[in-house]
Chain A
């Protein structure tokens, strides 16, 4: 059958579904559903890490292999620095730009290095919005409780309190830089309701929130003349005799030479892991999301946490083939879009947390109520035309111009026809353990944004990532900058690799894998 014939059931059942209200699952039902269907609970995808700071902890095989991987840098590498700086930021996404801007504003000399271009990141793709409790009926405490509930009560309370309390001042900072958040008629910030949140709290720039914030932050990094090293991938960190972080070694991807940067502090803002395609999932992540920061921090002795849990965004595109894995923003569900199975039935409250919604979609598909494409992909319908039916013609086009354009390129009008979706690998819930200043257990090594762990617990709430980036980018940048004046540059060695390599040998892990991955191996070999 062609797609139009199969879609008819969605159109036919729309009016009946509009009258329905679906209750959220009880805590017991949620747990049961997640344990049975969420990819985090597929035992065979996991194994314990053999050595290092997290020895014995389980994570997905793909990540364990990279964490145990060897460094490309030999013990006797020449570490004469090519650049010297107070603060070295690794990564050019939201957290990296925020860290660099705040450190620079605090008077530090800053270098921002990134393996692609400034701004090439997941941040630029964030469509759903940014959670900040600005509405009178809302509060930072409610934001805290919603996030905790979404994170299965596993979130670090101190990190979380800091994030929700600093949110409003972050909004003010972004507004002062010229970010155009959507407004209400009275000039106040417009808030939307996000999945798993009890109050409307999402600040948005239509469905281009991440793009708008990143356009502005990138422009500001350039205006401030912050030194950039683009197309330079971090491949190792350096340490002094005490094991404190003192800089990093990069590979220049254009000429394959190494670049050594001496720094009083290093901020890793390297983002997530989607391009590892954990458990074979497609991903919504950008080209460079290969978990490099985790490998670098781990070799230097930084402890990781919650690295056994990943977020599978409920709505990744399944059709057309060209868009597989691309996100269909949660905003569609926030505005009332239904999830519909092959029988035309709803099967979950669409505004439940991402892990619950994803698990329920996987359940529908595994129990034979999914829609299959001839390439073997399977999915359920997201009723996008419902938004026009509910809120008036033109709603989809006005509120989701990015989505409209993306599908229009392949001849699909999402305001007229529903889209086929299935969970896509979206976010790394855990990462490197940090304190409230974003510092790891390795002195002078900071981690900000998706590469860090603890804040989101075992499931990140929609809209909390953009805020995470801004808050902990800022805190890492300010702390690193504040420290620079009172300290001298430590010695650059790769002494930590000696111990790491000895451990590796002892555990017979010499599997030939070298990490970080830098870019996924998509190039077809003959």
Chain B
């Protein structure tokens, strides 16, 4: 290591000390290094992971888990690939939850805001308990989203649920049997397909391609030698 290198070192105490902590996975105690992610703790404790791991980047919702920290009565939710373990933590992976998904043809909906009540008749039965919002590992105000969906504010719902990874943790906690993530997905798709302006520039471009506006340029380029093409590419700035 050069002198410069030595000056530029970030201390990561949890890594150098390899402090071990005791955690509980599905009711069984294990010793694991402090600070590793919950998924890594599963691997560390010798478990084969097939269900319960997906993108490992916090985007796919496959690794939804429940956890409780020492002396805290509250059971919380997390994505196991995005949660660091700490001493005294108990963890259980969420089982796949059999939520009911409505099926629909998004393009031919006649009245998407009214159709919501046919597809998800339980949506207006929200009793405001807020459990869904508390269960969301993405910090979405799920309860507010359900109400906005019911009142037809599809635009707000689509914006609020852009962070939704479809982990489904809002569903088993709902006392009105709503699957808020599925409601929001329907609403977002309807917002996109029915209530968003058509981009005129896109149609223009599609027509230009169909009409062969770029054909001369293509002919010229595809006839070039490798050298000519490389020189031509260099002029594109």
Contacts and interface: CB of A to CB of B under 8 A. Distances in A.
B22 interface: no
A80 interface: no
Given A153-B229, A321-B35, A371-B10, A168 B202 contact: yes
Given A168-B202, A188-B199, A208-B162, A175 B192 contact: yes
B151 interface: no
A188 B11 contact: no
Interface stretch (A61-69, A141-149, A385-393, A466-474): A141-149
Interface residues on A, range: 35 or more
A374 B60 CA distance: 31
B118 to A, nearest CB: 15
A457 to B, nearest CB: 12
Interface string A148-161: 11000100010001
Contacts of B163: 208, 401-402, 405
Given A1-B10, A180-B196, A253-B50, A171 B103 contact: no
B5 interface: yes
Given A178-B189, A178-B192, A215-B185, A371 B8 contact: yes
A142 B236 contact: yes
B82 A409 contact: yes
A99 to B, nearest CB: 19
Interface stretch (A13-21, A112-120, A235-243, A489-497): A112-120
B158 interface: yes
A493 B5 CA distance: 59
A342 B45 contact: no
Contacts of A211: 59, 165
A322 B37 contact: yes
Contacts of B185: 215, 219
> Which of A120, A136, A153 has the most chain B CB atoms closer than 10 A to its own CB?
A120
Given A125-B59, A406-B58, A523 B12 contact: no
Interface string B5-48: 10111111111100000000000000000011100100111111
Nearest to B181: A215
B83 to A, nearest CB: 7
B131 to A, nearest CB: 21
Contacts of B47: 523
Contact of A141 (B202, B218, B226): B218
A451 to B, nearest CB: 17
Interface string A251-280: 001100000000000000000000000000
Interface string B161-195: 01111100000000000000000010011111100
A212 B59 CA distance: 10
B188 A165 contact: no
B4 A135 contact: no
Interface string A356-395: 0000000000001111111100000000000000000000
A524 B43 contact: yes
A519 interface: yes
B179 to A, nearest CB: 12
A195 interface: no
Contact of B205 (A168, A321, A370): A168
Given A122-B55, A172-B202, A286-B54, A180 B221 contact: no
> Which of B35, B37, B107, B188 has the most chain A CB atoms closer than 10 A to its own CB?
B188
B70 interface: no
A120 B55 contact: yes
B57 A125 contact: yes
A252 B7 CA distance: 52
Given A180-B192, A524-B43, A526-B46, A6 B202 contact: no
A222 interface: yes
B201 A146 contact: no
Interface of B: 1-2, 4-5, 7-16, 35-37, 40, 43-51, 53-60, 62, 82-84, 101, 103-107, 138-139, 158, 162-166, 185, 188-193, 196-206, 209, 214, 217-218, 221-222, 226, 229-230, 232-234, 236-237
Interface of A: 1-3, 6, 27, 116-117, 119-122, 124-125, 133-136, 139-142, 144-146, 148-149, 153, 157, 161, 165, 168-169, 171-172, 175-180, 183, 187-189, 198, 205-206, 208, 210-212, 215-216, 218-220, 222-223, 225, 231, 253-254, 284, 286-287, 319-322, 326-327, 342-343, 368-375, 401-402, 405-406, 409-410, 420, 519, 522-526
